[in-house]
Structure 1
Amino acid sequence: MRSPKPAPATNRLLEALPDKDRQHFLSGCEPVTLAFGEVLAEPGEPIRHVYFPTESFISLTTKPIDDCASLEVGLVGDEGMVGSPLVLGVNVSLLHAVVQGAGSALRMDAALFCRELEKSRALRCVLKRYLHVVMGQLAQNAACTRFHVVEERLARWLLMTQDRAHSNQFHATHEFLAYMLGVRRVGVTKAATALQHRNLISYSRGNVTIVDRSGLEAAACGCYATDNATYAKMMC
């Protein structure tokens, strides 16, 4: 089993900045600890802060449609940021952002972020590339939801979560997974049981352990590798 890389000292987006720009930007950031379940943004509400996770990770979900449950469309960890509409000059959130993995993050006031964006060409370039990656991932996620079976999608989500949690163990109930994947709970139970029977994961009372990382990558749909390749091409 391959262990995940240790959590970086800061956010990978900010690490991509030239030293001078990064140090200046970091001087305006406030280190915070995000709690599990903490809501950072609501659809239609003004964006008050931007967040750059370092050890935490955040789930982005749609607004409920026709009184139905919402759907996860993004998972943000140390590779990204929350509050990206500000890069496009939009100060209202389209998505619900809730902390799924507690931990540290860097936070900046939205107004200050916009001023920094105007001053730093390097910051604009990095974040525009990131937005390109996000748009590609959103398109990939739509296709994944439509064409891939639940077991493959669950394996992909577990890998994405492990990457951002920087741990082989994390918490995710069947009810939560059904909500994230937009399927019935029985479908998640069947898929999780299949992965467990293949000795890829261990699952008990909402506690997930990745047992065989390589095997789980083989069980996941190709969207996982595609997302990683897109990020690496544009951001590294």
Structure 2
Amino acid sequence: MPSESAKNTVPTVNRLLAALPDQDRRLIEANGDSVQLLRGTVISEPGDRLREVYFPTDSVLSLMTPPADHAGLEVRLVGNEGMIGTPLILGVEVTLLHTVVQAAGPAWRMSREQFGEALLRSDALHTLLDRYLEVLMNQGDLLVVCTRFHLVEARLARWLLMTQDRIHGDRFHVTHEGLALLLGVRRVGITKAATALQERKLIHYRRGEITVLDRMGLKAAACGCYGRAETMYDRLLGR
């Protein structure tokens, strides 16, 4: 379970919450608390009833769906640009996804009841999250194309860039097994792709620690999907 800290004002480094007018953000401050999420913590499993929402401030979470014939596939990577618990925006209380903390850090948490009350009282919050749902729909469309048509090396480069964007740093922990699960490919494919990126001096990988050495080179190696959803986010939700 998440490790709790004392209740305080909501951190404004979550981009969704920071985009709210002051009075609406104060409503969030009065109806939530800050928690420390630990890497590997499972937030929800498919079929679970959602009891809380999370707005990551300096943590990263993976949302995965487990097809019947595969261990799983990441469908969303969420950092301080987004939130966990989006079905509740539409009044749906059950999740179909497995949600796990990919990178440890703080998040702002609200109960289902607190969140529902905030949506009723804040038109600005409702409008903002409706736009966020549109961004997620666009990301989902891109994922289908990316998974079907793009090579593992390009998809891995894209994932590394997305993760770097969310952790705001150059180094993070992930194993080859974990990457294979997240990208829905065999481990040998990840090993070949990571080796190729390392040989080009774009990344350094050792014992589950990846360091991005050349971000511009990594962007050149990534498929064209990287940046499209990010551009849409900026257009709909602002920088």
Name the TM tier (shorter chain).
over 0.9
Matching of residue 28 in structure 1 with residue 38 in structure 2: no
Partner residue in 2 for 1:55: 58
CA distance in 1, matches of 2:70, 2:141: 22
3-state SS in 2 of match to 1:209: strand
Alpha-carbon distance in structure 2 between the residues aligned to 1:44 and 1:10: 31
Structure 1 residue 65: Cα displacement: 2.3
**Which amino acid counterpart does residue 175 of structure 1 have in structure 2?**
E
Aligned mates of 1:76, 1:230 — CA distance in 2: 15
Aligned match for 1:106, one of 92, 98, 108: 108
Q: Determine the C-alpha separation between the residues in 1 that align with 2:84 and 2:68.
A: 26
Aligned length: 228
CA-CA distance at 1:167 after TM superposition: 1.1
Structure 2: gaps of 5 or more residues? 1-10
Alpha-carbon contact 2:32-2:114 (below 8 Å) kept? no
> What is the DSSP-based 3-state SS (H/G/I as helix, E as strand, rest coil) of the residue aligned with 1:224?
coil
**Aligned pair partner of 1:145 in 137, 144, 147:** 147
The aligned counterpart of 2:20 is: 17
Report the equivalent of 1:209: 211
Residue number in structure 2 paired with 1:194: 196
* Structure 1 residue runs without a partner (length 5+): 1-7
Q: Distance between the aligned counterparts of 2:226 and 2:51, measured in 1? A: 31
Of all paired residues, the percent bearing the same amino acid is 57
Query: Cα deviations across residues 144-183 of structure 1 (Å, max 9, x unaligned)?
Result: 0001000000000000111111110001111100010000
Q: Which residue of 2 aligns with 1:4?
A: none
Corresponding residue of 2:5: none
Q: Which runs of structure 2 are paired with 1:1-236 in the superposition (5 Å)?
A: 9-62=12-65, 64-236=66-238
Q: TM-score, normalised by structure 1?
A: 0.94
Q: Which amino acid aligns with 1:225?
A: G
Return the offset for 1:68.
2.3
Describe the superposition over 1:103-129 as per-residue Cα deviations: whole angstroms up to 9, x where unpaired. 000000011101110111000000000
Deviation per CA, 1:56-106, whole angstroms, max 9, x where unpaired?
A: 0100000x2225211000000000000010001101112111000000000
Inter-partner Cα distance in structure 2 for 1:104 and 1:141: 27
The structural deviation recorded for 1:9 is 4.5
Q: Which amino acid letter does the alignment assign opposite residue 36 of structure 1?
A: R
Structure 2 Cα separation of the partners of residues 10 and 66 of structure 1: 38
Distance 2:63 2:12 in 1: 23
SS at match of 1:28: coil
Runs of 4+ in 1 over 3 A off after TM superposition: none
2:200 and 2:112 mapped to 1: Cα distance? 46
TM-score, normalising length: structure 2: 0.93
Secondary structure, counterpart of 2:227 in structure 1? helix
Query: In structure 2, what is the Cα distance between the partners aligned to 1:80 and 1:138?
Result: 14
Aligned equivalents of 1:112, 1:103: Cα separation in 2: 22
> RCO (CA 8 Å, sep 6+): is it higher in 1 or 2?
1
Partners of 1:219 and 1:26 lie apart in 2 by 41
